Amino acid sequence: MPQENLSGSEAHLTRSLGFWACVGIVIGVTIGSGIFRTPAGIAARVPNPALMLSIWALGGLITICGTLALAELGGLFPDTGGLYVYIREGWGRLPAFLFGWSQLVLIRAAALGAISTVFAEYFLRSIGFNPDAYPTSVHLIAAAAIGFATAVNIRGVQLGAWVVGAATVGKYGSLAVLVIASMLLGGGRGGSFQHFTATGSVNPGLFGLALISVLWAYDGWADLSFIGGEVKDPRRNLPRALIFGTLCVLAIYLLANVAYLYMNPIQDVARSRLIAADVMFALFGRLGVALVSVTVMISTFGAVNASMLTSPRIFFAQADDRLFFKSIARVHPRYHTPYVAVGLTGGLGILFVLTRTFEQLSDTFVLAMWPFYALSVAAVYRLRRSRPDAVRPYLTPGYPVVPLIFIAGVSYIMVNAFVTETLWSSIVFGIVLAGVPVYWFYFGRAEKIGG
């Protein structure tokens, strides 16, 4: 049976997040660095405006299908831990352990590295330096940002829902201003609809890699599930907030890419790693660059902090299930924060950001994370058969086709990644599967003894 509370520590948590706060979290976590940084890499891999927009739409379609299915699970299991709980209830303890293992040693570190890299690039741009000319400084500033966020979260930070909401409004509003200003003022500053008529050949393998970058930009849509134990009326609010928040993100992402392409030929988009800043410079000069740089810095640093706040809840849920080392979920006696989990995640993030590029970090995250999304979505099929009488306040529309679209999309990018980036894909999955012997040696054996 589903548990309403997964951990004794959850007794100190209250269900205080309403619908709009949850929507703010979905939008705020999702809009981190992707929409400000990935368009260049996508345009380089898919140098065709129509195909570039279509790949953003395809990524949005895949994400929406996953959200619609995950909303059913959120209503069924409104608990802290989110995806971990869905995988455990649908597929068992070993896959659930591998999810938490991957979060600790790979997924969160890659995410922190990628997001903080964008923070560092826009920080340099805001003070008048070209980040392309100072790659070492980018790595060091990004590492410092992770270190600062780690220290802050160990010391203890309580972010009210109003702070999350304000940051979300700022990010979303900034993108909306960029879109509106481009359409109204861009015609006299280089904007042209002829930019959408250019054509270029596309390698099918590169199309798949570009889709990985798009899915990185959309990632964050499921993070609300990690704090399901703190949502008011979760069986109603979790599904609604997941769906509405993701639709809002999809809309602004498509409009932002239309604005980027209207203001710049696709060749210029491919060369512009800081496309939002370049568009705002064309529209408003240095003031526009300063405004968008500050917005992106707040957006990315906020996302780093959000990751530090949400991911330890996965480790708490696992520790309660005796599926993780208790020391990782240890709480600081003075600050009451999961300092071991936060410190370890931050340390790995610093290591990753010092040794990998943004594209490598974001691709690593998608390769490691999205198979677990697919596993969670596939649990909808299994749980419908194994628990047909369970209370489901929300049912996936278009079932069974909608979840299948998501699973098929994830399967495509995984197969394509193995074909086009065989070595790195193998390394990523090797790290994930390294958790299997860890599980059997430390946890599977303990279960047998305990049983």
pLDDT in tens, 51-88: 999 999 999 999 999 999 998 998 898 877 789 999 99
pLDDT of the residue at 9: 43
Question: How high is the pLDDT of residue 445?
Answer: 63
The third-level CATH classification (topology) of the domain covering 18-388+397-446 is Amino acid/polyamine transporter I (1.20.1740)
Low-confidence ranges of the chain (pLDDT < 50): 1-12, 157-161, 449-451
**pLDDT of res. 262:** 95
Model pLDDT for residues 379-438, shown as the tens digit of each residue: 999 999 999 999 888 899 999 999 999 999 999 989 988 888 899 899 999 999 999 999
The per-residue pLDDT for 14 is 63
Token pair belonging to 42: 């996508």
Confidence (pLDDT) at 251: 94
| pTM of the full structure | 0.82
pLDDT at 103: 87
Minimal CA–CA distance to 303: which of 17, 33, 2, 3?
33
